[in-house]
Amino acid sequence: MTVNNKANNLGLEKYGIKNLGSIYHNLPTPALYEQIVRRREGLMAHLGPIVVRTGHHTGRSPDDKFIVREESSHDKIWWSKANKPFDVARFDSLYHRLLAYLQGKDIYVQDCYAGADPQYRIPVRIITEYAWHNLFARNMFIHILNEDELGKYIPDFTIFSLPRFHATPDIDGTSSEVFIIVNFGKRLIIIGGTSYAGEIKKAVFTVLNYLLPQEKVLSMHCAANVGPEDDVALFFGLSGTGKTALSTDVNRRLIGDDEHGWSVDGVFNFEGGCYAKVIRISAEQEPQIYECTRKFGTILENVAIDSHTRRLDLDDASLTENTRASYPISHIEHSIREGTGPHPKNIFMLGYDAFGILPPIALLTPEQAAYYFLQGYTARVAGTEVGLSKEPQAVFSPCFGAPFMALPPTSYGELLLESINNHKVNCWLVNTGLVGGGFGVGKRISLPHTRELIRTAISGELSTSPMEKDPIFGFRIPSACGNVPKEILKPAKSWKDGSAYTREAKKLVAKFIENFKQFGGEVPRAVMESGPRVDE
């Protein structure tokens, strides 16, 4: 444990920081626990996890994220709703007020890496005013255990996370008092006005999504696991689509649950921990994640707790549907501690289809895989972002992670198609949403059924079984798969009213066609023509 009252010993003076209180540098987990409890930031629950509250913000605030429009990066950025420009002068002004706010305050500093592959990792320093945010950083990123290595540590990017420091929109040009601002020129990220710790990990993900593709490394919003035959599988998808649940398989080893890179050498995890949704999980359905909610070192965000018995209620959504657990990947039995694996053999693109149109699983050509990757069709699930309604909203999120993609989506699409072709990867579209009908009629497919589909696909059995080409979407749908009911495999036959299915399918296809227009002539013709079609 290091408590250092001299900022210059850590090089903090280069940030303009002055007159700090205590500086807690690279505290280990037990010491951070002591700080959290002493400062009343959280409660220690039965069996050891720490329970915290994130206040008003129980999910990300996408409208409050900005990228500074500065000379070194402005020609490369995908300027969009996800990447709104921020003025250099206003950033400097807000940053100077942030420095004034820090005077006299204690801070926590965690030095770590983002990226398990030493060739591509970046040193990241996280400076927080909450001890539990520092523990979150320690859980989510990669520890540096070698003291000599720590002694030579120089951060490439630095993050300030200060929930109690708020912006003034009229002065600062922000959308609200909350802000997440990335400055690639100064290698700085400043976060304020929100206690939701997920902003820290996604800010680092945005940085990696900017840097790595420029080195011909595909950065991916996906989970990854590996079987006994070194058969790596990737799981793309937004929050709530099942990345963590499906990749955490007792018969396979977890590489990571959310963010990875794919280089010429294989895949590698960006993180050293997991950040799983835990609302209503059970020991029967998701045993490994469930066990992590009962371990020392785990942070539980907005999970209900009895303040007397310190027992948890994972079914209680009174604060939010987006209850979260942050834990080191070592909490998952048989995980890959090194965070690396060979080239994948299977890719699964997960989406929550709120309309019940897509099949539970379909085999894609490489061009179709690139098409659906760029579309990123899914539904935002209530609670993962501020301002969403309780009903799922079908959306398109390029690359299954538009809010975090700093470069144009086609940059990632090109790398994906090239990698799929180079390594002969089987690609699958998986609907983890509704089957048997649309919203209000259909039911969400059971997790055991989806797991059976995934298992059969990974084994190679599914790709060689009888399949039928879908007349609208063009992908191939299996006729049977193990214990999965045959009647749900083909949506056109599972709906009671076939004409209603066709009518709703045409509506969805029209949305696909309209959304893909944004990519214009930037994608190969074969990719553009691989999408669904409906004869008028």
Give residue 383's pLDDT.
47
Q: What is the pLDDT of residue 391?
A: 60
State the maximum Cα–Cα separation within the chain, in Å, rounded to a whole number.
72
Residue 47 structure tokens: 């069996």
Torsion of CA 224, 226, 230, 236, to 10 degrees: -30
Of 23-37, 245-259, 405-419, 435-449, least confident by mean pLDDT is: 435-449
Residue of 244, 247, 323, 450 marked active site: 244
Interstrand relation of 340-341 and 266-269 (parallel, antiparallel or unpaired) = antiparallel
CA distances from residue 236 to 142, 200, 222 in whole angstroms, order as listed: 22, 21, 4
Q: Is 243 a catalytic residue?
A: yes
Its pTM stands at 0.94
Is 172 an annotated catalytic residue?
A: no
Q: What tens digit of pLDDT does each residue of 331-354 get? A: 999 899 999 999 999 999 999 998
Q: Distance between CA 161 and CA 127 in Å, rounded?
A: 6
Q: Tell me what the mean pLDDT of segment 212-217 comes to.
A: 98
Q: What is the pLDDT of residue 10?
A: 83
**Residues 388/434, Cβ–Cβ less than 8 Å:** no
The one catalytic residue among 57, 243, 252, 449? 243
What pLDDT sits at residue 384? 41
Nearest residue to 187 (alpha-carbon basis) of 227, 215, 212, 158? 158
Decide: 133 and 286 in contact? Cβ < 8 Å. Answer: no
List 25, 57, 58, 60, catalytic entry = 60
Q: What is the DSSP string of 152-193?
A: T---SEEEEEETT----HHHH--SSS-EEEEETTTTEEEEES
Tokens, residue 212? 């790595």
pLDDT for res 242: 87
- The pLDDT tens digits for 430-489 are 999 999 988 788 899 999 999 999 999 999 999 888 999 999 999 999 999 988 999 999
Q: How far apart are the first and last CA of the chain?
A: 69
DSSP string, 44-89: EPTTS-EEE--TT--SB-GGGEEEE--TTTTTTS--SSSSEEE-HH
% the chain with pLDDT above 90: 85
Chain mean position to CA 318: 24
Band (pLDDT 50/70/90 cuts) for residue 2 is low
Distance CA 527, CA 413 (A): 10
Does 324 participate in catalysis according to the annotation?
yes
Active-site choice (172, 257, 258, 470):
258
Q: For position 380, what pLDDT does the model report? A: 60
- Grade residue 394 by pLDDT with cuts at 50, 70 and 90: confident
CA 456 – CA 323 distance, rounded (Å): 31
Is 202 among the catalytic positions?
yes
**Six token digits for residue 431:** 């609907």
Q: What whole-number distance in Å separates Cα of residue 302 and Cα of residue 351? A: 25
Decide: 156 and 308 in contact? Cβ < 8 Å.
no
Is 261:368 a contact under the CB 8 Å cutoff?
A: no
| Mean pLDDT of all residues in 139-154 | 93
Q: What span, in angstroms and rounded, lies between the C-alpha atoms of 89 and 117?
A: 36
pLDDT per residue over 253-298, tens digit each? 999 999 999 999 999 999 999 999 999 999 998 999 999 999 999 9
Which position among 138, 143, 201, 202 bears the catalytic label?
202
Q: Which two tokens stand for residue 442?
A: 């259909």
Task: Indicate which residue of 158, 174, 195, 239 is catalytic.
Answer: 239
Is-catalytic flag, 280? Answer: no
The residue from 186, 201, 221, 253 that is catalytic is 221
Catalytic annotation present for 397 = no
